[in-house]
């Protein structure tokens, strides 16, 4: 971090209503020297720092911004630990951590919105959802009223919208879906998102424009997958043709299998397609789909934490595993759970040698 001592001197001088001339006379330097310090053109000699600090009644550390540096270091540590614990699916630990963080830094809105996300996480039961209602509302209102960072305010709206939608199905909450719809109405349309707009602003920078388009395509495909998954509740309800079309689309756009943000979607779609084939009596094709599901899960688990796509339409798009809801957990473990416990497969089918061989190949 850059230490802007000149800005600190200027701020302290103005707070005390002291002129540059007065400070210059005290230190035995020219007015021009003070002016250059405050414009960060030059810096005071290190031997003068104690005298400057004494003049303003502060410490050399505060003058240099050491306290601010330490504060930002602590905040970054909290953010890093939040990402780690969230990706490792440790809701109790991450909630306790962020509660400590907002107690230490109550004015940091980035920490507040992360704590809000912890308070309303999807694993809470009905009683807990009701218990955190007042605290959730207070934090949300504070962010909307005082935070000036749009991305944080919109994230808070997203969190609150989903939280209210979950409360709406609890009879004793007194909340109906219109509460969530009111928050939803204040959120931007998909077409107004950062990823879409970034594709249009780089008129004279081909490299940045291509990067923005690659990121935009990757995000649009992810959103398409999310939309498909919200339509149905159970794997057997999916339309087989839609599943096959989605797979064909991802394979066409990303022939290098650099699926990035859509990796979990194509894995699950192969599983759901396998269920559809099984239910229609085509067990051979079902096994083929399940084998593809396992193969891709293994491919995902072997990816580095940060990947760069190479397929033409998404060339240069960056995928960070820890910044997704997949986190650092093994995809193979999830797939094994789906195949053995979640999918509507008969015990006779699960006892088939080819299926047992597939399950035994999964590394957990």
- The whole-model pTM stands at 0.71
Tell me the per-residue pLDDT of 215-259, one tens digit each, with 9 for 90 and over.
Answer: 999 999 999 999 988 888 787 888 999 999 999 999 999 999 999
- 142 with 165, same domain: the answer is yes
pLDDT at 1: 45
**Residue holding tokens 């001197």?**
9
- Clarify whether residues 28 and 52 are in a common domain: yes
Q: Are 119 and 135 in contact (CB under 8 A)?
A: yes
Same domain, 286 and 354: yes
| pLDDT above 70: residue 329 | no
In a domain? residue 287: yes
State the pLDDT at residue 68.
73
Structure tokens, 346: 């008969």
| Structural domain includes residue 77 | no
Distance (Å, rounded) from C-alpha 324 to C-alpha 264? 10
**What pLDDT was estimated at residue 292?**
98
Determine the angle formed by the axes of helices 263-279 and 206-231, rounding to 10 degrees: 30
Last residue of a domain, one of 172, 187, 202: 187
Check whether 99 has a pLDDT greater than 60. Answer: yes
Which of 187, 210, 232 marks a domain boundary? Answer: 187
34, two tokens:
């003070």
pLDDT of residue 325: 61
pLDDT tens per residue, range 107-145: 889 999 999 999 998 778 999 999 999 999 999 999 999
3-class secondary structure, 318 = strand
pLDDT of residue 4: 75
Residue 93: predicted pLDDT:
94
Determine, yes or no, domain membership for 70: no
237 and 306 inside one domain = yes
Q: What is the pLDDT of residues 1-53, one digit of tens each?
A: 456 788 889 988 888 888 999 999 989 999 999 999 988 888 888 778 888 88
Q: Say how far apart CA 280 and CA 294 lie, in whole Å.
A: 21
Q: Does any domain span residue 71? A: no
Residue with tokens 């339409």: 313
Q: What is the mean pLDDT of residues 301-314?
A: 93
In a domain, 223, yes or no: yes
Residue 84: its pLDDT value, please?
Answer: 86
Q: What is the pLDDT of residue 268?
A: 95
What would the pLDDT profile of 159-208 be if each residue is shown by its tens digit? 999 999 999 999 999 999 999 999 999 999 988 988 999 999 999 999 99
The verdict on 211 and 319 lying in the same domain is yes
Confirm whether 75 is domain-assigned.
no
Q: What pLDDT sits at residue 324?
A: 66
Same domain, 253 and 269: yes
Distance between CA atoms of 121 and 114, rounded to whole angstroms? 11
Whether 145 and 292 share a structural domain: no
**Could you say which of 49, 64, 79 is where a domain stops?**
64
Task: Establish if 74 belongs to a structural domain.
Answer: no
- Is the CB of residue 97 less than 8 Å from the CB of residue 338? no
Task: Indicate the DSSP class of residue 308.
Answer: E
Whichever domain contains 18, its CATH number is 1.10.260.40
Express the helix, strand and coil content of the chain in percent, nearest 5 each. 70, 0, 25
Q: What is the pLDDT of residue 66?
A: 66
pLDDT for the residue numbered 187: 94
Same domain, 227 and 292: yes
My answer on whether 204 and 279 are in the same domain is yes
Residues 242-253 have pLDDT tens digits of: 999 999 999 999
Residues 346 and 230 in one domain: yes
Domain that includes residue 57, residue range: 5-64
Burial of 68 (0-12, 13-18, 19+ CB in 10 A): middle
Residue 6: CB atoms within 10 A of its CB come to: 19
Q: What tokens does 27 get?
A: 């230190």
In a domain, 13, yes or no: yes
147 in the same domain as 216: no
15 vs 243: CA distance, rounded Å: 64
Give the total number of structural domains in the chain: 3
Which single residue is written with the structure tokens 């909307």?
A: 144
pLDDT at 327 over 60: no
Indicate the pairing of strand 306-308 with strand 318-320: antiparallel
Residues 121 and 52 in one domain: no
């Amino acid at each position: 971090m850059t230490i802007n001592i000149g800005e600190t001197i200027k701020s302290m001088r103005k707070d005390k209503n002291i002129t540059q001339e007065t400070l210059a006379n005290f230190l035995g330097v020219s007015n021009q020297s003070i002016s250059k310090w405050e414009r960060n053109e030059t810096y005071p000699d290190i031997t003068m720092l104690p005298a400057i600090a004494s003049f303003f009644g502060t410490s050399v550390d505060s003058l240099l911004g050491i306290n601010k540096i330490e504060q930002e270091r602590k905040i970054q540590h909290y953010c890093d630990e939040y990402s780690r614990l969230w990706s490792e699916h440790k809701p109790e630990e991450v909630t306790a951590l962020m509660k400590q963080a907002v107690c230490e830094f109550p004015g940091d809105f980035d920490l507040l919105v992360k704590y809000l996300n912890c308070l309303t996480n999807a694993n809470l039961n009905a009683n807990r959802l009701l218990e955190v209602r007042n605290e959730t509302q207070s934090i949300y209102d504070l962010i909307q009223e005082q935070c000036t960072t749009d991305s944080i305010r919109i994230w808070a709206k997203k969190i609150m919208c989903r939280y209210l939608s979950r409360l709406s199905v609890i009879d004793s909450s007194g909340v109906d879906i219109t509460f969530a719809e009111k928050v939803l109405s204040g959120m931007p349309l998909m077409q107004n998102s950062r990823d879409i707009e970034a594709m249009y602003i780089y008129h004279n920078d081909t490299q940045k424009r291509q990067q923005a388009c690659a990121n935009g395509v990757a995000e649009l495909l992810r959103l398409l997958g999310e939309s498909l998954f919200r339509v149905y509740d159970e794997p057997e309800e999916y339309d087989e043709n839609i599943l096959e079309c989605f797979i064909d689309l991802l394979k066409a756009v990303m022939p290098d299998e650099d699926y990035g943000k859509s990796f979990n979607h194509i894995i699950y779609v192969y599983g759901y397609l396998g269920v559809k084939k099984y239910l229609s009596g085509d067990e051979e094709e079902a096994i083929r789909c399940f084998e593809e599901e396992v193969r891709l899960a293994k491919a995902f688990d072997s990816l580095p934490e940060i990947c760069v796509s190479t397929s033409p339409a998404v060339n240069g798009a960056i995928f960070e595993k820890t910044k997704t809801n997949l986190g650092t957990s093994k995809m193979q473990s999830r797939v094994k759970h789906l195949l053995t416990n979640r999918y509507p497969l008969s015990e006779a089918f699960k006892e088939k040698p080819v299926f047992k061989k597939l399950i035994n190949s999964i590394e957990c």
